[in-house]
Amino acid sequence: MGQISDRVMSLATSATFAMSQKSGELAAQGVDVINMSVGEPDFNTPDYVKKAAVQAIEENYSKYSPVPGYMSLRKAISAKLSRENGLEYAPEQILVSTGAKQAICNAILALVNPGAEVILPSPCWVSYPEMVKLAGGTPVVVKAGIDQDFKISASQLENAITPRTKVVMICSPSNPTGSVYSHGELAALAQVLKNHTEIYVISDEIYEHINFVGSHSSLAGFKEVADRVVVINGVSKAYAMTGWRIGFMAGPLWLVKACNKLQGQYTSGTCSVAQKAAEAAFNGPQDDVEMMRKVFNKRRDLIVSLAKEIPGFDVNMPQGAFYLFPKCDSYFGKRDGDRVINSAEDLAMYLLEVGHVATVGGTAFGAPECIRFSYATGEDKITEAFRRVKETLARLK
């Protein structure tokens, strides 16, 4: 143990991947587990994207790519941002990375000095606080409960700002809550940030296309803050391409250059073949994206109706992404024989071991009163999972 750096010792293991692994281990023992832990689309990557990858292999895209990504891909992303988001970024303002995850980590490492504060509206994705810690920064968690649809208000943001604040993270649609900030809510946040010109925004828009309320809004669309916003997005969720590992940032040129330097020493440009596939995804027909969005919308309706039938679950109406985040603390203190449920993690483990449904406890997302269900799985499985959840929880007295 003594050999491991303090930096790595202080990091938590990714709870999403940990629960998914546990679920996989049980399944390998022959248990029929329904995995609603990790968040990744259950669809296959669209055919036209796969064909582009095969073609790239045949055309010998086998050398290092430029560190920030192929110019043709950066142009495709620039066109996507203009076409879909009304945002104008030159290809030079775009850096392609190994997933949105690396794009976020690059931005944090390039902006945050030791001691700087990063405001994390919470519940938030498990990796944000750990990335901030990696940079030596201080996560400042601003909690929004289910009573406010898990979204922070402008006054909460204002109150969290100190002279040490460097970055605010915004994730909409949100993992783990599915909440979506409306244009008006973002306008109010932009108004606060207008007066704090030393603060940058990392806007994680990886669930942009899995949105059930119509159009997507980005803080980058508000002139008060636009030149201080780093847009994060990628192909993992919209095109069912989690394993291809392509994400990007779009932002101020000086920051993109800094991240280019960082990435050049750390990972180099990401996979050449996956970049060509992503280029096809952005440039090609977008029907598959819409088809998947519609399927997720139907599943959302199903899972919300099933969760409302579970005694003791309090649920919001998620407007995007593919997560449900019920408040479940009414079960804390209850028992099944010798087994006592004292936390969301106990409940998640109980549901896995007894009900054979894998979820993720809310503590790693900053909400110890909730558990997360990913509904990126078929309607039959969602229905069966909730039958099991209901039956299993009924045993707790």
Q: Which residues bind ligand PMP (CB under 6 A)?
A: 39, 99-101, 125, 171, 175, 204, 206, 234, 236, 242, 247
Phi-psi region of 150 (alpha: psi -120 to 50; beta: other; left: phi over 0): left
What part of residues 77-106 is at the interface with ligand GLU (CB under 6 A)? 101
What part of residues 162-201 is at the interface with ligand GLU (CB under 6 A)? 175
Residue of 16, 102, 316, 377 that binds ligand GLU (CB under 6 A)? 16
The first and second tokens of residue 397, run together, are 């007295």
Q: Kindly report the backbone phi and psi dihedral angles of residue 372, in degrees, each rounded to the nearest multiple of 5, phi listed first.
A: -110, 130
Q: Quote the least distance from Cβ 199 to ligand GLU, whole Å.
A: 25
Q: Quote the least distance from Cβ 131 to ligand GLU, whole Å.
A: 11
Q: Quote the least distance from Cβ 163 to ligand GLU, whole Å.
A: 32
User: Pick from ligand PMP, ligand GLU, none: which does 14 bind, CB < 5 to 8 A by kind?
Assistant: ligand GLU
Q: According to the binding rule CB under 6 A, does residue 377 interact with ligand GLU?
A: no
By CB atoms closer than 10 A (0-12, 13-18, 19+), residue 330 is: middle
* Cα–Cα dist 99/179, whole Å: 22
Q: DSSP character for 93? A: G
Phi-psi region of 337 (alpha: psi -120 to 50; beta: other; left: phi over 0): left
Nearer to ligand PMP, 171 or 219 (CB): 171
Q: According to the binding rule CB under 6 A, does residue 14 interact with ligand GLU?
A: yes
Residue nearest to ligand PMP (CB): 99
Q: Quote the least distance from Cβ 245 to ligand PMP, whole Å.
A: 7
Nearer to ligand GLU, 39 or 362 (CB): 39
* Cα–Cα dist 320/369, whole Å: 21
User: Pick from ligand PMP, ligand GLU, none: which does 38 bind, CB < 5 to 8 A by kind?
Assistant: ligand GLU
- The answer to whether 366 and 122 are in contact (CB under 8 A) is yes
Q: Quote the least distance from Cβ 36 to ligand PMP, whole Å.
A: 15
- The answer to whether 212 and 174 are in contact (CB under 8 A) is no
Q: Quote the least distance from Cβ 257 to ligand GLU, whole Å.
A: 27
Q: Quote the least distance from Cβ 37 to ligand GLU, whole Å.
A: 7
Q: For residues 348, 350, 353 and 358, what is the CA-based torsion angle, rounded to 10 degrees?
A: -20
Nearer to ligand PMP, 17 or 332 (CB): 17
The first and second tokens of residue 164, run together, are 């040490």
User: Pick from ligand GLU, ligand PMP, none: which does 247 bind, CB < 5 to 8 A by kind?
Assistant: ligand PMP
Q: Give the full edge-to-edge strand order of the sheet including 323-324.
A: 323-324, 371-374, 360-361
Q: Quote the least distance from Cβ 349 to ligand GLU, whole Å.
A: 17
Residue nearest to ligand GLU (CB): 39
Residue of 33, 36, 39, 392 that binds ligand GLU (CB under 6 A)? 39
Nearer to ligand PMP, 193 or 206 (CB): 206
Residue 236: partners with Cβ closer than 8 Å, 6 or more residues away: 40, 99, 100, 206, 242, 244, 245, 246, 247
User: Pick from ligand GLU, ligand PMP, none: which does 117 bind, CB < 5 to 8 A by kind?
Assistant: none
* Cα–Cα dist 17/384, whole Å: 23
User: Pick from ligand GLU, ligand PMP, none: which does 106 bind, CB < 5 to 8 A by kind?
Assistant: none
Is the bond into 91 cis (omega within 30 degrees of 0)? no
The first and second tokens of residue 294, run together, are 């519609």
Interface with ligand GLU by CB under 6 A: which residues?
14, 16-17, 38-40, 101, 125-127, 175
